[in-house]
Structure 1
C-alpha cells in the first residue's frame, strides 16, 4: 500500500479534513441498517488523528474511526477517556453498511496490522517522516490512527 501525504495526521493535504458531522451521519445510517444505535460522537482535535463514532450493536460496542484527512475507516474496541490504546476489530456487517454509504475504505484488522516495512511511505513529507521516527509505529494501523501530538 502506498500512503499519500497526511497519513500521520501531520501536515494535512490541502483538501482539508473530513467533516465529522458527515461521518456521524454516515454512521447513523449504517447503524440503523444493522439494527444498532450511535452512542456518541467525538471529533478529532489536536489529537487523535481520527474522528470517532461509538456504535452499540448489542452485545457489542464498536468504535468507528475515520482518519481526519484520508478516506480510511477502521473499527476498534472503545477506549476509556485518556486511554491511547487502539485495539482494532472487524465487523463485516457494519463494514458493508458503511461501504454502501461512502467511498472511504474500511480497513480490516489484517490490513491495519500490516508491518510498516511493507508500506510505501515515499509520498510522505519530511515532517511526517520525522514524526514516524519519533513515535516509532510498527504497523499501518498505528501510523494512521494515532494520538500523536
Structure 2
C-alpha cells in the first residue's frame, strides 16, 4: 500500500518545481483506486494520478469529482508531457508511466499485486485500465 501523505508531499513539490499550483488533491472514499493531484499552469491543467496500491504515477487530464455514475466516466485520458514526467521521475520511490506504457495490453503476471478476482471480473484491456480504475 502507498502512503497518501508521501504522494501528497511529492505532488506539492512537483507543482512547485514545475511552476504550477496544486489546486486540489483528491482522495476518494471508495472509488476510484487512485489519488489525483490537480496542478494548474497558466496555459493548461494536468493531474498527477497515483495508484493507491502500487508505487506508480502518471499524468492525465483532470477528472471532475461530480456525481455521475462511475460507469459513465470510462478510462482516464493519459497525457504525454515529457518535461513534467521527467520531474516526476526524479523520485526513486515511484515509477512514472507514460501514455504508451499505459496503453499496452494488460498482462496480470506483470502486476502481481492486483486483486485476481477484480482482474477476472473487470477484464482490463490495458495497463492503464488495470492500475487506474473506478472498480467497486
Q: Aligned equivalents of 1:141 and 1:123: distance in 2?
A: 12
Establish whether residue 23 from structure 1 lines up as the match of residue 11 from structure 2. Answer: no
| 2:109 is the alignment partner of 1:121 | yes
* Alpha-carbon shift at residue 44 of structure 1 (Å): 3.6
Q: Partner of 2:35: helix, strand, or coil?
A: strand
Which of residues 43, 47, 65 is equivalent to 2:27?
Answer: 43
Count how many residue pairs are aligned between Structure 1 and Structure 2: 130
| TM-aligned CA deviation for residue 31 of structure 1 | 1.1
For residues 111 and 122 of structure 1, what CA distance do their matches in structure 2 show? 12
TM-score, normalization: structure 1? 0.77
The verdict on how the C-alpha distance between 1:103 and 1:122 changes in structure 2, with shifts beyond 3 A counting, is closer
Alignment RMSD (CA, Å): 2.1
Structure of greater relative contact order (alpha carbons < 8 Å, 6+ residues apart): 1
Q: Could you tell me the TM-score, scaled by structure 2's length?
A: 0.84
The 5-angstrom pairing of residues 1-149 of structure 1 reads 17-81=1-65, 82=68, 84-85=73-74, 86-116=76-106, 119-121=107-109, 124=112, 128-149=115-136
Cα drift, residue 124 of structure 1: 3.7
Contact 1:75 1:89 in 2 (8 A): yes
Conservation of the 8 A alpha-carbon contact between 2:18 and 2:84 = yes
Q: Which residue of structure 2 lines up, in the alignment, with residue 5 of structure 1?
A: none
Structure 1 unaligned residues grouped into runs of 5+: 1-16
Q: Which runs of 5+ in 2 are unaligned?
A: none
